[in-house]
A and B are shown apart, each in its own frame.
Chain A
Amino acid sequence: MSTTARVADDVGNFLDERVGASKGVKFLFRKIFPDHWSFMLGEVALYSFIILLLTGVFLTFFYVPSVGRTTYDGVYTPLAGQTVSEAYASTLRLSFDVRGGMLMRQIHHWSALIFVAAITVHMFRVFFTGAFRKPRELNWVIGTILALLAIVEGFAGYSLPDDLLSGTGLRIASSIILAVPVVGSYLSFFTFGGQFPGEAFIPRLYTVHVLVLPGIFLALITAHLILLVVQKHTQYPGPGRTNQNVVGYPLYPVYTAKAGGFFFIVFGVTALMGALFTINPVWMYGSYDPSPVTAGSQPDWYMGWLDGAVRLTPGLFEFTALGFTFSFNIIIPAMIVPGLITMAMLFYPWIEQWATGDRREHHLLDRPRNAPTRTGLGVMSITFYLLLLISGGNDIIASQLHLSINDITNTLRLLGLVLPPVAFVVTKRICLGLQRKDREKVLHGRETGTIYRTETGEFFEVHAPMDDVSRWKLVGYEPIRPLEPLPAYDEHGVRRHGSRLDGLRRRISRFYFEDRVEPVTPAELDAAHEEHEALPAHEEEERGAVTASTSTPVGGD
Chain B
Amino acid sequence: MTALAARRRHPLAGVVLVIVGLVATGVLYAALAPGRAGAAEDPASDIEAGRALFLANCATCHGMDAAGRNNAPSLIGVGAASVDFQVGTGRMPLQATGPQAPQTQVRFSDDEIRQLAAYVASLGPGPGIPSAEEVDPATGDPSRGAAIFRTNCAMCHNFAGKGGALTRGKYAPNLDGTSPTHIFEAMLTGPQSMPVFDNGTMTPQDKRDIIAYLTTTSKQPSPGGFSLGFVGPVNEGLVAWIVALAALIGCAVWLGSKSS
Assess A77 versus B249: contact at CB under 8 Å? Given A114-B244, A278-B222, A395-B165: no
Measured between beta carbons, the chain B residues less than 8 angstroms from A114 are 240, 244-245, 248
**B257 nearest CB neighbor, chain A only:** A37
What is the 8 Å Cβ interface bit string for chain A, positions 282-313, against chain B (1 contact, 0 not)?
01111001011111111111101000000000
Q: List B contacts of A95 (CB < 8 A).
A: 223-224
Query: Contacts A275-B225, A292-B154 known; A405 to B165 CB distance under 8 Å?
Result: yes
- Asked whether A113 is an interface residue with its Cβ less than 8 Å from the other chain, the reply is yes
CA distance A75 to B7 in the complex (A): 11
CB < 8 Å: which of B159, B217, B244 contacts A294?
Answer: B159
A window 59-98: CB within 8 A of B:
73-75, 77-82, 95-97
Q: Mark A362-396, 1 if CB is under 8 A from B, else 0.
A: 00000000000000000000000000000011111
Alpha-carbon distance between A104 and B159 when the two chains are bound, in angstroms: 23
A78 near B226: Cβ-Cβ < 8 Å:
no
CB distance from B6 to the nearest CB of A (A): 9
> Do the beta carbons of B146 and A118 come within 8 Å of each other?
no
CB distance from B254 to the nearest CB of A (A): 8
| Chain A residues whose C-beta falls within 8 Å of the C-beta of B116 in the assembled complex | none
Contact in complex: A301, B237 (CB < 8 Å): yes
Q: Is B58 an interface residue (CB 8 A)?
A: no
The distance in angstroms between the C-alpha atoms of A114 and B249, with both chains bound, is 11
Tell me if A117 counts as interface (CB < 8 A to partner B).
yes
Q: Is the pair A300, B237 in contact by a Cβ cutoff of 8 Å? A: yes
Tell me whether A353 is interfacial, beta carbon within 8 Å: no
- In the complex, are the beta carbons of B256 and A40 less than 8 A apart? yes
Q: Mark B190-231, 1 if CB is under 8 A from A, else 0.
A: 000000000000000000000001001100101111111011
What B residues does A299 contact at CB under 8 A?
A: 233
| Contact of B154 (CB < 8 Å), options: A294, A304, A402 | A294
Chain A contacts for B164, CB-based, 8 A: 294-296, 395, 399
Q: How far is the CA of A296 from the CA of B231 in the complex (A)?
A: 7
Are A113 and B236 in contact, CB atoms less than 8 angstroms apart?
yes
Contact mask A267-290 → B, CB, 8 Å, 1/0?
001100111111111011110010
Residue B234 lies at the interface, judged by CB distance under 8 Å to chain A:
yes
**Closest Cβ of chain A: how far from B169's Cβ, in Å?**
4
Assembly CA distance A78 to B228 (angstroms): 20
Point out the residue from A276, A284, A296, A300 that lies within 8 Å of B225, measured CB to CB.
A276
Which residues of B sit under 8 angstroms from A392, Cβ to Cβ? 234
Residue in A276, A289, A298 whose CB lies within 8 Å of B232: A298
Q: Is A36 an interface residue (CB 8 A)?
A: yes
A384 to chain B, nearest CB (A): 18
Q: Is the CB of A398 within 8 A of B150?
A: no
Contact among B1, B163, B239 for A277, CB-based, below 8 A: B239
Give every chain A residue within 8 A of B143 (Cβ-Cβ).
77-82
CA distance A295 to B171 in the complex (A): 10
Q: How large is the interface on B (under 10, 10 to 19, 20 to 34, 35 or more residues)?
A: 35 or more
Task: Assess whether B99 is interfacial by the CB under 8 Å rule.
Answer: yes
Which residue in B147, B222, B233, B257 is a CB contact (below 8 Å) of A286?
A: B147
Complex Cα distance, B257 from A297, in Å, reads 42
Q: Do B14 and A81 touch (CB < 8 A)? A: yes
Within 8 A of A (CB), among B151-197: 151, 154-160, 163-169, 171-172
CB <8 Å contact, A292 and B150: yes
A56 to chain B, nearest CB (A): 17
Contact (Cβ within 8 A) B256 A35:
yes
Question: What residues on B are CB-neighbors of A109 within 8 Å?
Answer: 236
Chain A min CB distance to B199 (Å): 22
Cβ-neighbour of A284 out of B160, B237, B255 (below 8 A): B160
In the complex, A165 has a CB within 8 A of chain B: yes
Judge if B30 is at the interface, Cβ distance under 8 Å: no
Q: Could you say which residues of chain B place their CB within 8 Å of the CB of A106?
A: 224-225
Say yes or no: is A177 at the interface (Cβ < 8 Å to chain B).
no
Is B255 in contact with A40, judged by CB distance below 8 angstroms?
Answer: yes
Contact with B along A514-549 (1 / 0, CB 8 A): 000000000000000000000000000000000000
Whether A278 touches B225, Cβ cut-off 8 Å, given contacts A36-B256, A117-B240, A295-B155, is: yes
- B70 to chain A minimum Cβ distance, whole angstroms, is 22
Question: If A81-B14, A284-B159 touch, does A301 touch B233 (CB 8 Å cutoff)?
Answer: yes
B165 touches which one: A165, A273, A286, A399 (CB < 8 A)?
Answer: A399
List residues of chain A with CB under 8 Å of any chain B CB: 35-41, 44, 73-75, 77-82, 95-97, 102, 106, 109-110, 113-114, 117-118, 121, 164-165, 258, 261-262, 265-266, 269-270, 273-281, 283-286, 289, 291-302, 304, 392-396, 398-400, 402-407
Which residues of B are in contact with A by a Cβ distance under 8 Å? 1-2, 4-5, 8-9, 14, 99, 142-144, 146-147, 150-151, 154-160, 163-169, 171-172, 213, 216-217, 220, 222-228, 230-241, 243-245, 247-249, 251-253, 255-257
Those 9 A-B pairs whose CB atoms lie nearest each other, nearest first: A295-B164, A301-B237, A278-B224, A37-B256, A113-B240, A398-B165, A40-B252, A404-B169, A294-B159
Can you list 26 residue pairs at the A/B interface with Cβ under 8 Å? A38-B256, A39-B256, A73-B5, A75-B1, A77-B216, A102-B224, A113-B237, A165-B233, A266-B251, A269-B244, A269-B247, A273-B244, A276-B226, A277-B243, A278-B230, A281-B222, A291-B151, A295-B159, A298-B234, A300-B236, A301-B234, A301-B236, A392-B234, A399-B163, A405-B166, A405-B169
